[in-house]
Amino acid sequence: MHSRDCVKVAVRVRPFNKRERDAGSHCVISMAASSITIHDPRHSQCRRSFCFDYAYWSHSGFIQDQTGLYLPEEVGGRYADQDCVFQDLGEGILENALQGYNATLLAYGQTGSGKSYSMVGYRPNKGLVPKLCERLFETIKGKQDARQCQVFFSMLEIYNEQVVDLLSRGSRPPGGLRVREEQHRGFYVEGLRTVPCDSAAQVEQLMEQGTRTRTTAATHMNANSSRSHMLIVLQLKQILSKESISKQSNINLVDLAGSERQRSSGPEADRLKEGTAINLSLTTLGNVISALADMAVGKKAVHVPYRDSVLTKLLQSALGGNSRTVMIATLSPADICYEESLSTLRYAERAKHIQNRPVVNESPTERLVKELKAENARLLQRLSRLGQEGRSANDETKEIRQLLAHNELQIRAIHTLWEQHLQEALKDWEQQYAHITQERRMMQMHPYILNINEDAQLSGVVKLFIQEGEWDIGLCDDMRTSITIKGLGIQQRHAVMRNEQRQVTLTPLMGSKVTVNGRAVCETTKLKHLDRLILGSNCTYLYIGFPSERGDDDWSNYDYDYFLSELAAAEGIHLGETSAECCETDPSLLAVFYDYIKLMPLVAEANQMSQELNKGVEFKLEIKNLVLSDSKGHDLEKDIVCRVISKPSKQVWMWSKAKFVNRKFLMEEIYQQHLTELNGENREAGLSTATLPRDKDPFWDPVEPLLLGTAHLWLQSLAFRIPLDEQLEVLGSEGSEEGIVHAKLLPCTSTGMPLGEDDILIDPSELLGRRLDVQLVLEQCFGLRWIREDRSRGVQIGFRLFDSSVLLYTSAVWHNVIPVLHHRVHFASLQVSEHLLDYLQSSAVLLELWGLQEGCTSLVSPLEGATVTTEGIFIIDGNGTADDIPADSAALNTSLKVLQKDLEELKSVNKSLMKENQSLRGQLNVARNGTNSARSRSLRPSCDAEFARSLKVFYHNMTSVRAQLQSLCRHRPSDSCDLLGLRLFVDEQSGLLKDFSEHLETTVSALKHDVAAIVRRKRERWGSWS
């Protein structure tokens, strides 16, 4: 029975990055010992705490020395540097490997949370992998007398469920390397190159080689490195001469793909498969961890889906198998990353419950040598016995001697295999070293461009030198004067670079996309040191000038985020320049803007793939609900959506962020298949991109109604039973004017007859307990941009009033920019409650403008949940009377009885107060003259009536003023207006403003005059009566 060993989990919190500092982010993570608490930035009282084996605070409390090494500010400070992490995690992994156990280190977290920094490190701050290799070879060197050690290194990447050998010297096989399974070995990668190493420097060189291959492959395949998994495998074989045994262990160092949590406004189901092969490995890993956690707490018959993805197959021994495993989860402490950090903590919380069964591994090779030696000893004894007996068994003796020779050859081959492999690896290492030396010499002589990648570990790997003369940049590789760049949107001849008279210029060629410092260029541009270049859709490079121009500049400041920030600034998003304002901004809003920036390159790639595949589809990012609010005027939750437009058919779709990202992965699969077909390679079984049916096409969807915008029809006038006639501007999600809606609110009788001026109320509380009827009339729409763009389209308007659960829709109107609706709905409250009255005074009817397209069905009002009378009147505020309360609920009956009891008590109190009031009124009448008292009683009604009439006149005048204001808002110059036209427009606008000002001043003055007259008459009457 093997002993059980739980997965050890460590959590590390990194410092703010530049983007988070510019946004004025707040830290939402606190740490005490091995406990971590995360605070919800939107609800200060909401917090979650987690406990792990190790917790590292690397957010603050550090300094940087002259060499760039990060150290704690104080000796014994809380800051955890790279050495601290290695002592806890790396030393344990190395010790387990030396004892003969398999050991695994998993790094998990969102992109940019510090996984690669913890695993690989940066410059002098070496991470776990290089430190572990250094310590391993130091240990081997110190124990050479007691044991012979052999170390083999391999490096692979998993992307889109395909395994890529990052050390392979040959061409990449279609579909990647195959994952096989053997009874004794378990899952393994067939054909994976393993390189023998005898020093840490050699391992470091192999890692650089693998990183270069990974960078090049990611660019050529249009692959996002943050969505791929990297595995480094160190095979350690120890031959202990004294014990005559050998131990063999695998050290798996795994940098998992970014764990970004997909925000979505709702549980949107995509008609195409969710979680493509690109996402499958990480999703399956989560399912495996959950299943193993369930097994650890005693659940029976739990299926662990190891076989569902390539990654989980290769990690089977690390998760629940023969390995001692450590997971390090990295976190961003910024409030804008709260959702992702909380998701990472929950993931790590499940992983710590996994139980493994590690055992010491004995090498099958050493066992074979033992068996061969034992067999040789038996054969020698037999030969000796034959010689002693004096037999002349020449044939048998000859056969035994042949077996002995064969066994000796096998033993010698096993022992010499290591030396041969090591010699071959040393030759490769010498060639790589010569290449590096040549590259460093070129860097000191010529300007060059180096790649910038989302993964900082892949940045600066590819260097393209610009020697003197003219150089063609693009896919062309058949000329001596060409610099080959492969990637999405790169043409055969994309641009020309000239190095003349110690100046480098860049000239884009016809139809090519070239961006310099965030701005698209189409003319010859002189390059300066540290200029940022984007070629095609996603090839990002930093220009390094002549050695005399460089100085002490640190190009590492120009990371991938810097490139994206420049692109965002070109579109008007300047988050880094408003840090003072950002401190007051909702973190969720900042997170949406950062999502927007991160999705910009994905949208550019999707547009490029659409262009190359002749799909005629354009993608554009939008911020949903950027300027919209709910019926109370409160801001709606913001999110990223992608507007998808089919240019040939003018069809429009609106995809959520999650749906777009999923479709983008599917587009990549189609695009890769398209490239395979163009290259004439044998494609995998499946449909050709040329014959792809529409229902399988990720660029297409069935059309659906789209929410174009909303308008607010405020209800305050209904509290006074005053009719309302408005022309409302419909605003789109980002503030665009989508059209005008003419709407009315008409207080009426139960039969639908409009109320007169005498029915207007002075005090809204007079409505309490009374019936209220109102008609909502939607007359017409004006200037609908949706239909102006395509006359084949239609519109509908949706709305709901108060607590109605039903969203009502007007009839669909097609092919008209100024559609007539004439839609009238009668609402009634049988007994107005305080709740309804508050709603009328503070809320609005939200009118939703929906766009219809050819092929989509119009929206229908589901009336199942509505209360409608036989006359077609919709009942609102149904809880206003006791008769309307359902009697089938015991809880509601109890509440009703309590309310009735309170009502009786209130009636009793009211009765006693009325008696007291009558007594006081009698005393007042005795004290005053009877005539004066009679006149005073008639004073208030008379004054109130006069005041009510004045308010009615003022209200009608203000309605006219509001109409003038709306006319001013809609009065705009035409796009083709010249200078003379603009002057005429300004003059006309000035006249309208003057009329508006005079009308407003007259209205207010009239009200002041009426009120003053009423007050004056009131004082005169009091003076004559007193």
DSSP 562-626: HHHHHHHHHTT--GGG-HHHHTTS-HHHHHHHHHHHHHHHHHHHHHHHHHHTT--EEEEEEEETS
pLDDT number for residue 262: 46
User: Scanning the structure block, which residue is given the tokens 């189901």?
Assistant: 269
Mean pLDDT of all residues in the chain? 82
pLDDT number for residue 586: 64
Chain centroid to Cα 304, Å, comes to 28
**Of 276-285, 726-735, 958-967, which range is least confident?**
958-967
Indicate the pLDDT class of residue 1003, thresholds 50, 70 and 90.
confident
CA 95/CA 93 separation, integer angstroms: 6
3-state secondary structure of 78: coil
What whole-number percentage of the chain has pLDDT above 70?
A: 77
pLDDT number for residue 904: 65
Contact 929, 744 (CB under 8 A): no
pLDDT number for residue 266: 43
3-state secondary structure of 781: strand
User: Scanning the structure block, which residue is given the tokens 């979650």?
Assistant: 48
311-347 residue pLDDT tens: 999 998 888 888 889 999 999 999 888 988 999 999 9
CA 827/CA 916 separation, integer angstroms: 41
Mean pLDDT of 209-226: 70
Structure letter (DSSP) for residue 235? E
Indicate the pLDDT class of residue 971, thresholds 50, 70 and 90.
low
Q: What are phi and psi of 739, to 5 degrees?
A: 155, -175
Tallying the residues shown for the chain, one arrives at 1026
755-787 residue pLDDT tens: 988 888 888 888 999 999 999 999 999 999 999
Mean pLDDT of 797-802: 90
Mean pLDDT of 413-432: 66
Tokens of 668: 């990549």
Contact 333, 28 (CB under 8 A): yes
pLDDT number for residue 375: 73
192-207 residue pLDDT tens: 988 888 889 889 888 8
pLDDT number for residue 565: 85
Tokens of 750: 């139960």
**Of 33-42, 213-222, 353-362, 902-911, which range is least confident?**
902-911
pLDDT number for residue 890: 47
Angle made by CA atoms 508, 514, 519, in degrees to the nearest 5:
120
User: Beta strands of 492-538 (E only): which ranges?
Assistant: 495-500, 503-508, 514-516, 519-520, 525-526, 532-535
pLDDT number for residue 30: 94
Indicate the pLDDT class of residue 263, thresholds 50, 70 and 90.
very low
Contact 10, 52 (CB under 8 A): yes
CA 414/CA 85 separation, integer angstroms: 38
CA 425/CA 422 separation, integer angstroms: 5
Give me the residues paired with residue 635 across strands: 629
Residue 688 has pLDDT above 80, yes or no: no
Residue 264 has pLDDT above 50, yes or no: no
CA 784/CA 610 separation, integer angstroms: 29
What whole-number percentage of the chain has pLDDT above 90?
A: 38
pLDDT number for residue 989: 76
Greatest mean pLDDT among 30-34, 257-261, 693-697: 30-34
Structure letter (DSSP) for residue 87? I
Q: Write b or e for each residue in 88-126: b if 16 or more Cβ atoms lie within 10 A of its Cβ, otherwise e.
A: bbbebbbebbbebbbbbbbbbbbbbbbbbbbbbbeeebb
DSSP 635-648: BPPPEEEEEEEETT
Amino acid making up residue 460: G
Nearest to 11 by CA among 45, 47, 38, 43: 38
Nearest to 286 by CA among 249, 257, 325: 257
Residue 933 has pLDDT above 60, yes or no: no
Indicate the pLDDT class of residue 278, thresholds 50, 70 and 90.
low
pLDDT number for residue 2: 54
Mean pLDDT of 661-680: 84
Mean pLDDT of 93-112: 90
515-537 residue pLDDT tens: 999 999 999 999 999 999 999 98
Neighbours of 943 (CB within 10 A): 15
Q: Is pLDDT larger for residue 94 or for residue 553? A: 94
Q: Is pLDDT larger for residue 798 or for residue 921? A: 798
Tokens of 564: 């994206």
Residue 853 has pLDDT above 90, yes or no: yes
Query: Longest C-alpha distance within the chain, in Å?
Result: 161
Structure letter (DSSP) for residue 691? G
pLDDT number for residue 883: 40
H helix runs in 928-978, sequence order: 930-970
pLDDT number for residue 900: 60
Which residues touch 503 (CB under 8 Å, ≥6 apart)?
Answer: 526
3-state secondary structure of 245: strand
Indicate the pLDDT class of residue 936, thresholds 50, 70 and 90.
very low
Indicate the pLDDT class of residue 999, thresholds 50, 70 and 90.
confident
Tokens of 203: 């391992």
CA 997/CA 1001 separation, integer angstroms: 6
CA quadruple 365, 370, 375, 380: dihedral, nearest 10: 130
Record the pTM. Answer: 0.74
pLDDT number for residue 994: 78
pLDDT number for residue 808: 93
Residue 242 has pLDDT above 90, yes or no: no
CA 859/CA 797 separation, integer angstroms: 9
Contact 390, 357 (CB under 8 A): no
Tokens of 854: 């050819």
Q: Is pLDDT larger for residue 685 or for residue 575? A: 575
CA 100/CA 247 separation, integer angstroms: 5
pLDDT number for residue 914: 67
pLDDT number for residue 887: 38
pLDDT number for residue 970: 61
Residue 683 has pLDDT above 50, yes or no: no
CA 607/CA 849 separation, integer angstroms: 28
Query: Distance from first CA to last CA of the chain, Å, rounded?
Result: 108
Q: Write b or e for each residue in 640-654: b if 16 or more Cβ atoms lie within 10 A of its Cβ, otherwise e.
A: bbbebebeebebbbb
HEC-encoded secondary structure of 133-176: HHHHHHHHHHCCCCEEEEEEEEEEEEECCEEEECCCCCCCCCCC
Q: What are phi and psi of 174, to 5 degrees?
A: -60, 135
Indicate the pLDDT class of residue 942, thresholds 50, 70 and 90.
low
Indicate the pLDDT class of residue 412, thresholds 50, 70 and 90.
low
Residue 1024 has pLDDT above 60, yes or no: no
Compute CA distances 688 → 275, 488, 613, 667, 731, whole Å: 22, 20, 12, 13, 43
pLDDT number for residue 66: 86
Mean pLDDT of 379-401: 64
pLDDT number for residue 569: 84
Contact 345, 329 (CB under 8 A): yes
Q: Is pLDDT larger for residue 923 or for residue 384? A: 384
Indicate the pLDDT class of residue 362, thresholds 50, 70 and 90.
low
743-754 residue pLDDT tens: 999 999 999 999
Residue 912 has pLDDT above 90, yes or no: no
Q: Write b or e for each residue in 438-468: b if 16 or more Cβ atoms lie within 10 A of its Cβ, otherwise e.
A: eeeeebeebbbbbbbbbbbbbbbbbbebbee
Mean pLDDT of 647-651: 92
